[in-house]
Amino acid sequence: MHIGDTPQEAAFRAEARAWLEAHASLRDPAAPAQEMDLATHVGHCRTWQATLAEHGWAGITWPAEFGGRGGSAIQSAIFGEEQARFDVATGAFAVGIGMVGPTLIAHGTPDQQERFLGPMLRGDHIWCQLFSEPGAGSDLASLGTRAERTDGGWIVNGQKVWTSLGQFADWGILLARTDPTVPKHAGITYFCLDIASSGIEIRPLTQITGVAHFNEVFLTDVFIPDENVIGSIGDGWSVARTTLLSERSFIGSGTGQWGVDDLIETARRLKRSDDPVVRQGLAAAVCRARTLDYLGLRLRTAMSQGRMPGPEMYVMKLAYAKHWAATADTAMAILGMSASLGDFSPTAASHHIEGDDRWPSMFLTQYAIRLGGGTDEVQRNIIGEQALGLPREPAADRGVPWKELALR
């Protein structure tokens, strides 16, 4: 056991820091509030992703044969920690680099890897996830979007929802039902969908912060060629598991800061850091943040040793969701009444992403982190089964053909 950088990791960190210093400017916590609309943010993400790729820092854990750096999960985390101190934008590539890439590397054909991984890495293609449906949330495998055979491919009809940044995406990963006569997990196929295809309508969903991060996506007679099926027909669920595991570990990953330094800075600036109740809130936040650090280290250790992470991944996501909510709560108490101010109206021309407004915004979006990538309840059920060895919940729909479920 060794907590802290090994000499090799320290050297990697120094190299990463030197490169970042040469190609980006440091974030200034004291800078005035920045206003940025989503489209501008996405543009910044594309530019930065291209810069990363140009200098060999994109896809740190991807094998070199796919254009990656061939590095370890720990190196990727180290780079993330260093990068977080700089004024750069990365969010729009979370789905592509973090989820689609690993899925294609594991399940794609050489042709698919060739076509998709390069443009993704270089920032040319933004990817979105077309999994959830209005009727299939926690019970994702009950999804009803249909893909039917046609000459040279498939015709897709259905509706998807909670598609992050769908309005900016070039490509999407799509789960659709190709065989309704078998039980729900068995009849699903995994596709890559060109968002420029005809028959796709994307409608942004505005959230309570006024931001339209998510979208509804309506698919009407959309053609997908055979060459864009990932894995085998009817085996989409096992392909999707790779994607979902990447999503959960991504949502639970992050940097060593966890918002705590900013929280303490906010308390100091508003002259609240002498208040004993506030101090307890700050101290509790530090305790949570250190726990997240160590949980993250253990997770990365498993990944860098080539072990599949166990239930600790689900603990990490739950702990992160709790930390997010409790930290925002403490920040709201520090801000006091002014926490009720801030323009979160759908008509707001732009959205503060820095400054004190971000705390109410974080408080208001805490539900998202508890829901996205599997709800708190789903994570706890998995912990019950995998960590404690409890029997699975009885399921009314196990082994029942999907089309009979739909009739119930």
Q: Is 228 in the site for other proteins (CB under 8 A)?
A: no
Among 376, 382, 383, 386, binds other proteins (CB under 8 A): 376
Instruction: Select from 6-14, 17-25, 275-283, 303-311 the region that touches other proteins (CB under 8 A).
Output: 275-283
| CA-based end-to-end distance of the chain | 54
Q: Which of 216, 247, 385, 393 is catalytic?
A: 247
Helix (H, G, I), strand (E, B) or coil at 119: helix
Residues near 1 by beta carbon (within 8 Å), at least 6 away in sequence: none
What is the size of the binding site for other proteins (CB under 8 A)?
58
Give the single-character DSSP code of 291: H
Q: Is 82 a catalytic residue?
A: no
Q: Is 370 in the site for other proteins (CB under 8 A)?
A: yes
Q: Is 271 in the site for other proteins (CB under 8 A)?
A: yes
Contact between 134 and 159 under an 8 Å Cβ cutoff? The reply is yes
Residues near 233 by beta carbon (within 8 Å), at least 6 away in sequence: 178, 179, 189
Q: At what angle do helices 312-335 and 276-304 cross, to 10 degrees?
A: 160
Q: Is 343 in the site for other proteins (CB under 8 A)?
A: yes
Q: Is 333 in the site for other proteins (CB under 8 A)?
A: yes
In angstroms, give the least distance from the CB of 219 to other proteins: 18
Cα-based distances in Å from 195 to 70, 167, 205: 30, 9, 18
In angstroms, give the least distance from the CB of 260 to other proteins: 18
| Nearest CB to other proteins, comparing residues 124 and 265 | 265
In angstroms, give the least distance from the CB of 394 to other proteins: 10
Q: 222 is written with which tokens?
A: 């959309």
Contact between 258 and 296 under an 8 Å Cβ cutoff? The reply is no
Q: 195 is written with which tokens?
A: 């968002």
- CA–CA distance, 245 with 240 (Å, rounded to integer): 9
Q: Is 270 in the site for other proteins (CB under 8 A)?
A: yes
Instruction: Select from 22-30, 72-80, 138-146, 147-155 the region that touches other proteins (CB under 8 A).
Output: 138-146
Instruction: Select from 18-26, 43-51, 74-82, 269-277 the region that touches other proteins (CB under 8 A).
Output: 269-277
| Nearest CB to other proteins, comparing residues 150 and 345 | 345
| Nearest CB to other proteins, comparing residues 22 and 337 | 337
Q: Is 218 in the site for other proteins (CB under 8 A)?
A: no
Q: At what angle do helices 276-304 and 236-252 cross, to 10 degrees?
A: 140
Angle at 301 between CA 292 and CA 236, to 5 degrees: 90
- CA 346, 352, 356, 359 torsion: positive or negative? positive
Q: Is 236 in the site for other proteins (CB under 8 A)?
A: no
In angstroms, give the least distance from the CB of 249 to other proteins: 21
Compute the residue count for the chain: 408
Q: Which residues are catalytic?
A: 247
| Footprint on this chain of other proteins (rule: CB under 8 A) | 132, 134-139, 142, 161-162, 205-208, 214, 270-272, 275, 277-278, 281, 325, 329, 332-333, 335-348, 360, 363-364, 366-368, 370-371, 375-377, 380, 395-397, 400, 405, 408
